[in-house]
Amino acid sequence: MTSPLIHDALPTVLVVDDEVRSQDAMRRTLDEDFTVFTASSAEEARGLLERQPVSVILCDQRMPGITGVAFLKEVRERWPEVVRIVISGYTDSEDIIAGINEAGIYQYILKPWSPDHLLEAVRNAVEAQTLQRQTSRLDLELRTSTRVLRQRTARQVVQARHHFGFERIVRAAGSPIELVCAMAERAARYDLPVLVLGESGTGKELLARAIHYASPRLEGPFEVENCAAIPDTLLESELFGHKRGAFTGAYEDHAGLFQRADGGTVFLDEIGETSPAFQVKLLRVLQEGEVRPVGAARPVPVDVRIIAATHRQLEQRVHDGLFREDLYYRLAGVTLTVPPLRARVADITPIAHQIVQDVARELGHPGAVLPDETLACLLAYPWPGNIRELRNEIARAMALHDGIELPPGAFSARVLQGRAVGGGDLVSALPANGTLTERLDVIEAMVLRETLLRHRWNKTRTAAELGLSRVGLRAKMQRFGLEK
Ligand SMILES: Nc1ncnc2c1ncn2[C@@H]1O[C@H](COP(=O)(O)OP(=O)(O)OP(=O)(O)O)[C@@H](O)[C@H]1O
């Protein structure tokens, strides 16, 4: 065995041949471009491979005790990164062909070899090894970053679950939204489409998110599209994607929201506003489980759960021919109705407190206190814009009012007038959805609130005016969350 002066910059080649003359010939050919080691037997070669990193091994097929291919098979198992070349005469070719796959031979060179051919073969082998190393490094980096990404995703999932779970839906004990949440939590477990009905600002999106994070899809994305916000043509490309050149301005392929949400949930808000043409396309996606990007020849399979929402009476729209019946039934696997805020007066106080905290955090505000007089005022207003309106009112009052305590005067005239008339206009205050009992409950709560306010929360006088016993009045106040 000979060990050359190791030249750091040159790749290393190990020549294994029991004939010293062949070894020398190969060394002379390769010496200028490579650091060449030689070994006269498999035994010697093993010793060297154990001590010395080698890029390429050139092995004669005929050696005492072991064939080149059999030895290279061992090399493959123990030093898989070494690129293997076998050198043989014509008569050996059958053995080589039989073992070539098992030994993972990069190339075999026939004797008599020409120096140029040998040099080129070794150069190519070194290049192949460099590429292989780069690929393995990239592969490792990819696997590591995917793992980091997954870990981060798992952490984010826990956080998201905390931020968007059902506990984020603030409500008073006994609130009608409790029943909605209980149904939603059950529905979340099964891969059924969900249709969420309710007026604007009632928390339909919040409920949809909670469903996603309580579902087996929680690690997948939750993608939101407001179908009323963009014209039909854009909506199609936004949801289903488009191919480059599909229309003017489509400079690149674009993955649509459905593809981005693969494995997760798509929340389609304001579904009632979509055109009949778009409804047909959406129906096809739901039926076939695949989307066809605009301008694409082939559809792409997608695996998403759909939660759709609307403030419209969707069944009525079906009846009026404005919404496809077949699509309606596809979307309405489970239908949940979020009651308006005025139908759950008991929720106003805890939600208002939560909003104060949220807004303080978001605006970097020191925080605010809502005195009883202000809460009474908030309770008396019918909140046609629901929780979104409540949130806007509180944020505005916190931003504009000096001082921690927010008196009724910090709120807009609309809200103050609501208090003055004790519940506002009855018709506009009525919920758009719900059973007769639910709607009558809203009216009952408004009448109670108005009378209580007029009598400055004096229960004896309020009960007397309404023909109730004090105990009866207290029970109703409790039921509707009308505690001052
Ligand atoms: N129960 C609740 N507790 C606390 N915040 C709530 C609650 N419900 C809704 N919100 C808040 O009210 C605002 C409006 O809610 P959301 O956007 O979910 O309503 P929406 O019904 O989807 O409205 P739209 O139909 O207009 O899209 C959001 O800021 C949301 O965080």
Domain interval for residue 212: 170-338
Q: Ligand 1 mean position to 310 CA, how many Å?
A: 13
Is there a contact between 291 and 274 (Cβ–Cβ < 8 Å)?
A: no
Q: Is 99 in the pocket of ligand 1 (CB under 6 A)?
A: no
Crossing angle of the two packed helices 459-466 and 436-454, in degrees rounded to 10: 130
pLDDT value for 421: 41
Q: Ligand 1 mean position to 231 CA, how many Å?
A: 24
Q: Ligand 1 mean position to 191 CA, how many Å?
A: 24
Q: Ligand 1 mean position to 324 CA, how many Å?
A: 27
Total count of domains within the chain: 3
Closest among 248, 236, 330 to 289, alpha carbons compared? 330
Is there a contact between 99 and 70 (Cβ–Cβ < 8 Å)?
A: yes
pLDDT value for 362: 86
Atom 18 of ligand 1: nearest residue by CA position: 203
Q: Tell me the one-letter amino acid at 21.
A: R
Q: Is 351 in the pocket of ligand 1 (CB under 6 A)?
A: yes
Same domain, 398 and 434: yes
Residues with Cβ within 8 Å of 286's Cβ and at least 6 positions away in sequence, in order, are 193, 306, 327, 330, 331
Q: Is 387 in the pocket of ligand 1 (CB under 6 A)?
A: yes
Atom 26 of ligand 1: nearest residue by CA position: 200
Q: Is 198 in the pocket of ligand 1 (CB under 6 A)?
A: yes
Q: Is 208 in the pocket of ligand 1 (CB under 6 A)?
A: no
Q: Is 206 in the pocket of ligand 1 (CB under 6 A)?
A: yes
Residues with Cβ within 8 Å of 393's Cβ and at least 6 positions away in sequence, in order, are 378, 411, 412, 415
Is there a contact between 13 and 7 (Cβ–Cβ < 8 Å)?
A: no
Closest among 382, 282, 272 to 322, alpha carbons compared? 272
- DSSP 8-state assignment for residue 267: E
Atom 24 of ligand 1: nearest residue by CA position: 200
Q: Is 225 in the pocket of ligand 1 (CB under 6 A)?
A: no
Which among 338, 367, 387 is the end of a domain? Answer: 338
Closest among 83, 122, 129 to 103, alpha carbons compared? 83
Asked if the structure places residue 138 within a domain, the reply is no
Q: Ligand 1 mean position to 39 CA, how many Å?
A: 77
Atom 28 of ligand 1: nearest residue by CA position: 388
pTM of the predicted model as reported, rounded to 2 decimal places: 0.61
Q: Is 42 in the pocket of ligand 1 (CB under 6 A)?
A: no
Question: At 2, is the secondary structure helix, strand, or coil?
Answer: strand
Q: Is 256 in the pocket of ligand 1 (CB under 6 A)?
A: no
Q: Ligand 1 mean position to 276 CA, how many Å?
A: 28
Same domain, 183 and 35: no
Q: Is 388 in the pocket of ligand 1 (CB under 6 A)?
A: yes
Tell which atom from ligand 1 comes closest to the C-alpha of 177: 1
Same domain, 30 and 121: yes
Asked if the structure places residue 40 within a domain, the reply is yes
Is there a contact between 44 and 56 (Cβ–Cβ < 8 Å)?
A: no
Same domain, 301 and 389: no
Q: Ligand 1 mean position to 336 CA, how many Å?
A: 15
Closest among 115, 112, 60 to 84, alpha carbons compared? 60
Q: Is 392 in the pocket of ligand 1 (CB under 6 A)?
A: no
Same domain, 177 and 322: yes
Asked if the structure places residue 145 within a domain, the reply is no
- DSSP 8-state assignment for residue 338: P
Where the chain has pLDDT below 50, the residues are 420-425
Question: At 322, is the secondary structure helix, strand, or coil?
Answer: coil
Same domain, 370 and 255: no
Q: Is 202 in the pocket of ligand 1 (CB under 6 A)?
A: yes
- Rounded to an integer, what distance in angstroms lies between the CA atom of residue 382 and that of residue 430? 9
Which among 321, 338, 355 is the end of a domain? Answer: 338
Q: Is 201 in the pocket of ligand 1 (CB under 6 A)?
A: yes
**Residue that the structure tokens 């060394």 belong to:** 27
What are the DSSP E strand ranges found in 114-208?
194-197
Sign of CA dihedral 449, 450, 453, 459: negative
Q: Is 60 in the pocket of ligand 1 (CB under 6 A)?
A: no
Closest among 123, 4, 1 to 109, alpha carbons compared? 123
For strands 222-226 and 265-269, give the pairing.
parallel
Q: Ligand 1 mean position to 200 CA, how many Å?
A: 8
294 beta partners: 242
Same domain, 87 and 215: no
Number of Cβ within 10 Å of residue 346's Cβ equals 23
Asked if the structure places residue 219 within a domain, the reply is yes
Asked if the structure places residue 31 within a domain, the reply is yes
Question: At 298, is the secondary structure helix, strand, or coil?
Answer: coil
Q: Ligand 1 mean position to 224 CA, how many Å?
A: 14
Number of Cβ within 10 Å of residue 478's Cβ equals 12
Same domain, 369 and 304: no
Q: What is the CATH number of the domain that holds 363?
A: 1.10.8.60
Q: Is 204 in the pocket of ligand 1 (CB under 6 A)?
A: yes
- Rounded to an integer, what distance in angstroms lies between the CA atom of residue 119 and that of residue 31? 10
- ipTM, two decimals, is 0.97
pLDDT value for 94: 65
Asked if the structure places residue 147 within a domain, the reply is no
Which among 300, 317, 338 is the end of a domain? Answer: 338
- DSSP 8-state assignment for residue 403: S
- Rounded to an integer, what distance in angstroms lies between the CA atom of residue 206 and that of residue 193? 16
- Mean pLDDT, the chain, as a whole number? 85
Q: What is the CATH number of the domain that holds 23?
A: 3.40.50.2300
Same domain, 279 and 323: yes
Same domain, 310 and 379: no
Q: What is the CATH number of the domain that holds 183?
A: 3.40.50.300
- Give backbone dihedrals phi and psi of 252, rounded to 5 degrees, phi first: -140, 160
> Could you give the C-alpha distances from 186 to 33, 321, 355, 375, 453, in angstroms and in order?
71, 32, 27, 34, 39
20-54 CB burial, b ≥16 within 10 A, e <16: eebbebbbebbeeebbbbbbbbbebbbebbeeeeb
What are the DSSP E strand ranges found in 312-384?
334-337
Same domain, 292 and 354: no
Same domain, 330 and 188: yes
